[in-house]
Structure 1
């Protein structure tokens, strides 16, 4: 009979070396934990800057069977680094992965919110993430196959490259950069993008900025963060912040100059980054959640994760559920809408460690939803240019 699962909550800095060695061994030997987000280095760095950071250490008897890095927001538990953590779950041996339901049962939070759970789970819904998996010949073989399959699309990108060069000058791409000035430039572009789209600015809370800078400054042999940039002539036209570990390269935060969207600088930068990184030995390039149209032309692999909110039985409606209900009333009905609104609330809750900050974020989201609903009802507005 299996021993009862028990948990101890501790700070990451309190982890003893033997436990850290076990963590590292599991991430190297369990294929499900190949993403950089599972590495001990990510947790150790994120725990220094994320409010409410902790590690759940699961045991059966005296034996450690898993770790779950997380953060608390009141009675809610989220993966450590949320909303910026693209993969999460229990770090464990391949044959002893703990289920989402088991974790929720032993942690017993008011609410456990996981946007991209890796491992056994029944709650919530399945979502897909997409990757480029390159064979050993590397980038050139991958590009030849993609161009053969989607000739029109990639010919269009080649024309876009020529157009960008004709307009601004020769294209120059650099990867593996660790310049904090570039990080700030990227954050400014992303903040402007969030404002245009009416989404919550995940960098306004401060600690999320600190996380990118801390990851950028870290120096580890087999884990790191870096930036790739594209210049056309004297103009910086696109940037991307990525995480990498082992042979896995995770595209994380892309940004480009909106005025050049017709030339697809962000897509061109991703292509050139893969070419340069493949030459350094990377073979899996993760593009995160499927959905954006361009990804289907690139990716040839897929991973299924679980998005779920596990609520303690018997609890009344939380602030988050109330916020989702209010936003839904402003914008319409339907499961797809409710899922979208829950994701929006989860982002607000994760970024804002205080109740006041969460209320402000929800109020902004409500105003945006009302404005979008009104615009949809009234149709496009004509603007007179004078």
Structure 2
């Protein structure tokens, strides 16, 4: 379908042909902002293996692919980023950040594209965003020691506290073992059992409620290529897990994804201790950036020395799905204007939870 010399084709990710796959890899390589493992074709393929709703909108100009927008597309025509609630970052696979995404969607079967962590440097998302916020990162391009010194100058108290806990753990006389590439499946199982218990305890949404999400973690754990590797790192104290982290990495970016620690070891700050060991090892292994994701968690403020903006919003076409979503957003906005205190936020929280469930189950 033509649109300002751009034609679009919606293709199941599993059915992308050899030329389109080569274009994905080439476009990603031409844009350093797409270095995250989230943007690798291999990540999309792993999700496609576990879900039957993965699609790619292929944008072409004069027969050449200029962009690919991966997504999960529901039967109602509602599109969301790959990975649903697991997807912290997403965007258009292209070396041209100015492509008009709304126009590309105009003649497609997609009625609404909901995004929440899109690269704001891509103007097609920024121009449609209802909210833009920083996504935090650790820049290790000058080495781990340079990062630590920069953090010491920026927040001396926080770094003193971290070093004090490091000394406390080192001098405790306990048996301490770091495994920065732990290949034991039973440790992966313990890590995610603890993570799901944390979700339950804190009343947070369990992103592993859907079977495909649990299976994806196992797939990533087994997937070990230069472009995409699942990484489990652990800290054991006296033979018991004290902290663990599962993330994924590309050639030069680690996405810090699912950290967890066991509360009985909280006095040592085991999660931070493991992160420090990970940062040094990763810097020595070619990682120049650790993506921490958006949000106001305290540890991100302590550790981050860089950020990039991500956008949330919707790109809509006239449709029943778009009308329903607009009505829900209007109800939330109306409630927030009323003098109801915390109650005013309930409609918005309920809508967000429903949308997260829809993303998890492909509704």
TM over 0.5: yes
Compute the displacement of 1:164 (Å).
Answer: 4.0
Q: 1:274 aligned to 2:279?
A: yes
What is the rounded CA distance, in whole Å, between the counterparts of 2:88 and 2:23 in structure 1? 23
Q: 1:333 aligned to 2:344?
A: yes
Q: Deviations over 1:253-305 (max 9, x none)?
A: 11111233343211221111001111112111111113111212211111011
Q: Deviations over 1:55-95 (max 9, x none)?
A: 221223422221111112332110111111111111112x3
- Secondary structure (helix, strand or coil) at the match of 1:83 reads helix
Gaps in structure 2 of 5+ consecutive residues = none
What is the rounded CA distance, in whole Å, between the counterparts of 2:4 and 2:330 in structure 1? 40
Matching residue of 1:185? 190
What is the rounded CA distance, in whole Å, between the counterparts of 1:2 and 1:51 in structure 2? 28
Q: Quickly say closer, same or farther: Cα 1:258–1:339, change in 2 above 3 A.
A: farther
What is the rounded CA distance, in whole Å, between the counterparts of 2:38 and 2:64 in structure 1? 24
CA contact (8 A) 2:3 2:103 kept: no
Matching residue of 1:15? 16
What is the rounded CA distance, in whole Å, between the counterparts of 2:239 and 2:197 in structure 1? 22
Matching residue of 1:379? none
Matching residue of 1:346? 355
State the TM-score, normalized to the length of structure 2. 0.87
What is the rounded CA distance, in whole Å, between the counterparts of 1:333 and 1:313 in structure 2? 28
State the TM-score, normalized to the length of structure 1. 0.82
CA contact (8 A) 1:38 1:91 kept: yes
Runs of 4+ in 1 over 6 A off after TM superposition: 326-330
What is the rounded CA distance, in whole Å, between the counterparts of 2:135 and 2:61 in structure 1? 32
Compute the displacement of 1:247 (Å).
Answer: 1.2
Compute the displacement of 1:203 (Å).
Answer: 0.8
Q: Deviations over 1:78-117 (max 9, x none)?
A: 0111111111111112x36434423442435232111111
Matching residue of 2:328? 321
Q: Deviations over 1:290-337 (max 9, x none)?
A: 311121221111101110123333643259939985998995225xx7
Q: Quickly say closer, same or farther: Cα 1:284–1:324, change in 2 above 3 A.
A: farther
What is the rounded CA distance, in whole Å, between the counterparts of 2:356 and 2:99 in structure 1? 25
What is the rounded CA distance, in whole Å, between the counterparts of 1:177 and 1:319 in structure 2? 46
CA contact (8 A) 1:240 1:255 kept: yes
What is the rounded CA distance, in whole Å, between the counterparts of 2:230 and 2:335 in structure 1? 36
Matching residue of 2:94? 92
Q: Quickly say closer, same or farther: Cα 1:59–1:174, change in 2 above 3 A.
A: same
Q: Which has the higher contact order (CA 8 A, sep 6+)?
A: 2
CA contact (8 A) 1:58 1:64 kept: yes
Matching residue of 1:126? 132
CA contact (8 A) 1:224 1:245 kept: yes
Q: Quickly say closer, same or farther: Cα 1:294–1:6, change in 2 above 3 A.
A: same
Compute the displacement of 1:346 (Å).
Answer: 2.7
Q: Deviations over 1:177-215 (max 9, x none)?
A: 333322222221111111112222111211101111111
* Structure 1 segment 33-44 matched on structure 2, within 5 A: 33-44=34-45
Which residue of 284, 288, 295 corresponds with 2:289?
284
Which residue of 222, 226, 234 corresponds with 1:229?
234
CA contact (8 A) 1:223 1:244 kept: yes
Matching residue of 1:82? 84
CA contact (8 A) 1:165 1:233 kept: no
Matching residue of 1:31? 32
Which residue of 208, 212, 221 corresponds with 1:216?
221
Q: What value does the CA root-mean-square deviation take over the aligned residues?
A: 2.8
